Structure 1
Amino acid sequence: MRIGARRSVPGWAVGSAVVAFVLLWAAFGPLPHDPRSPALSSANQAPGGDFWFGTTESGVDVFSGVVAASLSTLPIAFAGVLAGLLAGTAAGIALSGHSPVQEGFMRLVDLFQSFPVILVAIVVVALAEGDSVNFWLTAAIAVINFPIFLRIVRGSALVVRTERYVLAAEVMGASRWRVALRHIVPNVSNVVLAQASLSIGFGIMAIASLGYLGIGSAPPEPSWGAFIREGADKLGDGRWWMVVFPSLAICLTVLVFNMISRSISKAGAPSGQAAADQKVSA
């Protein structure tokens, strides 16, 4: 490395810092107005000095609501993807073979993945009762992501198990799970983490879509999807801000997680001299 050369900050670090800042602000930082206490006297205000993103028909400050909604959206997406990742990784390792039972299970996974994602989420969340809606939202995201991580880990495991060093370890008595933890998991970690970041973005869109359909966090808890649903009926009256700003929040958040995913993928990909060395050794 040259003396004085600048080290660029990795994209995943920048994206993670942005997400952490928004969550901390939503949880502990001061907001201009309380998004859970609407004021009818301030209803239908256009964006301005007092209300940066305007207000809803019930007087909720859209800016405060958009920030606060991240606290009811991102943790659910995180938890759902993490559950799907852990379950999918374990299942992918267990199914990393070609026995009739393993192949039969994979055909069931194919059948499950043929169903529309949003339909699966609606069916799962329909089981929610009262305060359990967040649990079932998390379960829906986990169910959707389980087969994705299963396929990633299983595909990598099938390749790694044919390597000579893995065959040697098995001959020496290493158990199936020891081989998985020492050889398969390290080989697949970058791909899994990159997919996890993408899946969080898709999870956010799924939560917003369910909120638009009236499924999810109940008022007065702010929701990006609920803001858009309320504002969609007011577009004809010129009240565009209830749709535009929550939609921008969703788009920017998903873009941040896409940036994190690309950064992780780039960090795990061979480049430069390392790639050339790999080609020569091959």
Structure 2
Amino acid sequence: MRIVITGASGQLGSELKDLLLYNTVYECYFLDRKQLPLDQIQIIQQILGMYQPDLIIHAGAYTAVDKAETDQVTTNLVNNLACEEIAQYCRVHNTKLIAISTDYVFDGSSASPLTEYATTNPINVYGQTKLAGELAIQKWHPEAIIIRTSWVYSSYGKNFVKTMCRLMTERDEVNVISDQIGSPTYAKDLALVILKVLDSVEWKAGIYHYSNEGEISWYDFAVAIRDFRSFDCEVRSIPTSAYPTPARRPMYSLLDKSKIRSTFGIQVPNWKVSLGTMLTEEFKDK
């Protein structure tokens, strides 16, 4: 099977590359923004045609949530219109598609874990464009698999865990929001889930949710990082109102993983276990 992975230099793309680069089962092509510029939608299908993939793992996205509020055109090109081009290519060429989406398609007003059937209502440009991309994929290629995830981190790239590690070595105290609730996702765990889906006997299209197990706040996450690394730093709890950002964030975005567990036999690690695994690795500054 020939596989194209988009967003190859991102957190998930980098973890997929680590797992797939030297495998002997799949013929993989890892395309970053230079090889597949998702904001240049007029050439996306032409580039994909050069590789003639049997399956595309679409991990590329515009993920600068605050910047997206002012860079709306580019955000829509990458998160929405590029998805449409990829889905159209897959439909015409009978190519399988796994696309990654986000908890930001929800407004954060729920009080219980969000299933795949929960009402979507994004409250920022990033979430709006990601939902539009989901709808485009479902319109043009309903046989696709869409995996929504949340709070992604990795030893690659920029993310909350690496930022906290840096700040806690530089400062005596850090302020972290305590009233946004969800669960983090270790990108390597998500990459392993994708491989599990690839290896499954039956392709079962649809939307699925995946994050690590557990329910925490960003404050809880920061405290765990500090304690694991034994940083001498006070973590102070603050409300969202004390840290205004250009883009609003969902206050509650805990994802229900029942569907992906039962459909593909996925074992979901607890967030603290996965955090410990990541923090024992060497950080890669990609």
**TM interval, short-chain normalised:** under 0.3
TM normalised by structure 1 equals 0.24
Q: Say which structure is richer in strand.
A: 2
Q: Say which structure is richer in helix.
A: 1
